[in-house]
Structure 1
Amino acid sequence: MKAVATTRKLPLEDPSCFVTLDLPDPQPGPRDLVIRVKAIGINPVDYKVRRSRIEGDSEPKILGYDGAGIVEAVGSEVTLFRPGDEVFYAGDITRPGSNAELQLVDERIVAKKPESLGFPEAAALPLTAITAWECLFDRLGLTPGDLDEGKGKTLLILSGAGGVGSIGIQLAAVLTGFTIIATASRPETVAWCHKMGAHHVINHSGDWPAELGKIGFKHVDYIACFGDTTAHWKAMAEAIVPQGKITAIVESPEVPDIGLLKSKSAAFIWEFMFTRSMFQTPDMIEQHELLKEVATLVDAGRIRSTITSHGGTLSPETLAAAHREQEAGRMIGKQVLEVAW
């Protein structure tokens, strides 16, 4: 099979940062699907893993943690899929990724793609949808589909226009009754958050607890931080209601001062969507189930793909360009590439 991979730790400006390789076709384990990749989504984790390469390591590494494609073969214990099924998934960070012609993925973290979407539109969804779903319903403990639970209560989504925020706002809007307050700092990102379903949008670039006050909210009941955890930590501790909950997804360069939450008996919970696959947790199949629900919501017209940028066909050049856009930190929604070998 062909793949676009990194073989050394190099800057994006180096034309050898990504190279096209011919590699052996992957052979499935008992619960693996062999997926012929048709499209990939790009996420910040892609460039973070690329940057983490160790100097001197020359082992080819295939990145890519969002994909949509067609099942080509299945392992001996697979029961959920068969060859020919069109699927979408976010993969496993401990295994070769989706920037390739073929990929092995455990069936428990895959679902049939929405029938109403093409492969590029579907590839924009899995990683961010899993992350947002787990934040809202596993980490914060909200109940999907219970519209009464959130009456009179607030959910703050920090960095609402990014990939996770874009789908997180939509999921909260259709599956909960919470008042959704998103944050954004540019006119185009503010408009996008409203389009996704946010009831209010405030500016996160300054004293955003003060901005909350201006729209009538002294505190919020729940916070999903999809931006810089460290930069927002003190403000989150100030804004969270006593006995409220905060979840975050961006690794912190320093340990947050958890003591700031003590007087409020507030909870803080990390979210990492690769936890289930990395540790083969007993509930790993929950990602299959939630992706099925996301596909159902898409096909019912209740939520939409967050694709905003199509970068063409996967190649070393287009992948480097996509990483460059991610590193700039100004993405609205999701960017994708198609795979055609």
Structure 2
Amino acid sequence: MAESEPEQEPEAETAGDAEPQVVERDLTMSRAMVEAIAHEMREDEEVFYMGEDVADYGGIFDSTEGLLEEFGHDRIMDVPISETAYIGAAVGAAQEGMRPIAELMFVDFFGVCMDQIYNQMAKNTYMSGASVSVPMVLTTAVGGTYNDAAQHSQTLYGTFAHLPGMKVVVPSTAYDAKGLMHNAIRDDDPVVYMFHKRLMGIGWMPAPDGPKTPVPEEAYTIPFGSADVKREGEDVTVVTLGLHVHRALEAAAELADDGIDAEVIDLRTLVPLDTETVRESVAKTGHLVVVDEDYRSYGVTGEIIASVAEDRLADLEGVERVAVPDVPLPYSRPMENEVIPGAEDVAAAVRSVRSTESGAE
């Protein structure tokens, strides 16, 4: 299995023959994202950020906190509540050589501006015969667990990954958030950067243990299409992303007390997708559980299972998937907790798959 990217120290800029000094601090995911954005804005005047409540307010999930003070309203721009207009403006700016970052406050709002995202941002390079590129980042908050009902609580990873032309990034830790953001801004293709609001580390929405990690001050990139093995194990492979990386790790700790050694893989990006790391893990464990906060049908869980079955079907002794049922996300806290998988659901799926000698669900 390939070595995990977070274990590699980034190169620091040094003067003369001085030894590189890598300074790490514990950062929340929001601070790590802002640090990467600020660095790229200092390095390239063509990088700017636009969205609703991203300037004076600093982003409702602290996604731009502090950037206005350094870069001003010309480069940190609040926009009217017209997603179609400003996403379209970002596409045009990108095609003219700028590198915009456009924030869609909630991924649920994609319906308002899907023509700009899918028929313009994702397709214009292809439709123009590569005479234009669209080097822009679409950032957006995803996920439930804070009772904001059906129109503000979806993840929709699979929706964007299903549509060709866009790279799709889903960080789960501060370290990954910074490295993936650097890579996203520098990429010459459109990137959808989906951050889970529960992982951002904002005061009014406490994060679980795990997303706040040591982060180097220096700039570094994490390549797209490079999954990370967050926990090695021998008995079962658990594949997931975003918030559910931490819920899977919690389940793995519980399962270890019962003598079940779970390997937890964080996909980090859906497009491109690192199927090789998943397949190698399944070849070792023989059992696969895929966990996702997106809807169960036609989504990420099915795609991962299919990609393994196409190449490693003989290795599979059992498979389970854990996802949100095909219902709108409820406002009621008990009902929302019922439909969004928890660590106990992951643990139950692992126990089930371990008791199944062959076949899929």
What TM-score do you get using the length of structure 2 for normalisation? Answer: 0.23
Q: Which has the higher contact order (CA 8 A, sep 6+)?
A: 1
What TM-score do you get using the length of structure 1 for normalisation? Answer: 0.24
- Higher strand fraction (1 or 2): 1
